[in-house]
Structure 1
Amino acid sequence: MISTHAKDSIERIFFKAAKSRLTMNAGDVCEIVPAGAHGAHSLPDANLVVLTISGMAFRLLLILHFDDSESTHRYFVKEESERAFLEVFLETCNLCCGAVNQELHHYFPDLGMSTPYVLSARCMPYLEVLKPEFLASYAVTINDAVSLGATICVCAHAPMDFVAEVSAVEDTSGELELF
């Protein structure tokens, strides 16, 4: 029920969002490559941040895999900050999912987005129970120092076909969006 064009569009939308929202500084390099089959990733002790975008035609889960390594903490929380790593990381993940949601709004007007929640990576095999029409996992590397994983899981309730016009990554970090 999800066309090849729609799958490609979702992937391109996610790539743009990840490169613009998971990086903390404008000059940071974010590389995204396909990960192993069935949600396998290189973070065996990872936790998951799960966010959901839901509409009448589909439900999209954006799952970001992270570990509690010192390099991950150092990247997302600057030394002078008094904010906890998880608070900063959840906010960053929410911004990434919000960017995906904003792009999808061009094609699907009635979408809702969940707040992020954290689960153990042991939950990954249960994605198959959802019978997703599209399931893809990626390895995300920032500045050759921070490793994250990402999984996109889309369950369609109706045929889904669109071609996203995704432009280059734009810096909109200081903008305020009104609803």
Structure 2
Amino acid sequence: MQTKNISKIRSLLPNSNLIDDEEVIGLAKSRLADLLSRLDAFHFSTYLDYLSGSFIPGVWFSDLFNFAYFQLVKALSNNVEVRECEYCGHIFEVTHKRQRYCPPLPNRKRSSCEMANNNRLKKEKNNKEKFNTANLQNGITKKRSYTVLHGIDPFTQEQKRITKSGLL
């Protein structure tokens, strides 16, 4: 079970401000085990098949929730590291140390969340560049109009004489 965010775990437990971090982790694990054992979710049956000269044991779950609870208990008992996806916020099982997003879909190299986040960042960067370009062009236009109105070149700060026919 992931235990990096002690303050978040502490906020979920009553009276946890009175105990140290190790006791908070132990209390949280104990509470989780108690909640999972109270669920009436572990309904499965076993069977035995004989294929290709060997016996193969199998498990049959009555529905997907039973299978999901089984997978959760299996992950907890194997001390699997889990993280929160930086894009969508869902919890996922970590398959390598640098993983920051949900795992990719089958037959895909990249996570959908990773690609969506990269697209969002590119869009923000493009919008920022467009905004800066528009402001730069707008600033040049303002400087030109300032020169015409006031007879001062903003680049050289030189006074220019203006007549009705234009600059002299």
Higher relative contact order (CA 8 A, sep 6+): 1
Q: Which has the higher strand share?
A: 1
Q: Larger Rg: 1 or 2?
A: 2
Question: So what's the TM-score if we normalise by structure 1?
Answer: 0.19
Question: So what's the TM-score if we normalise by structure 2?
Answer: 0.20
Q: Which has the higher helix share?
A: 2
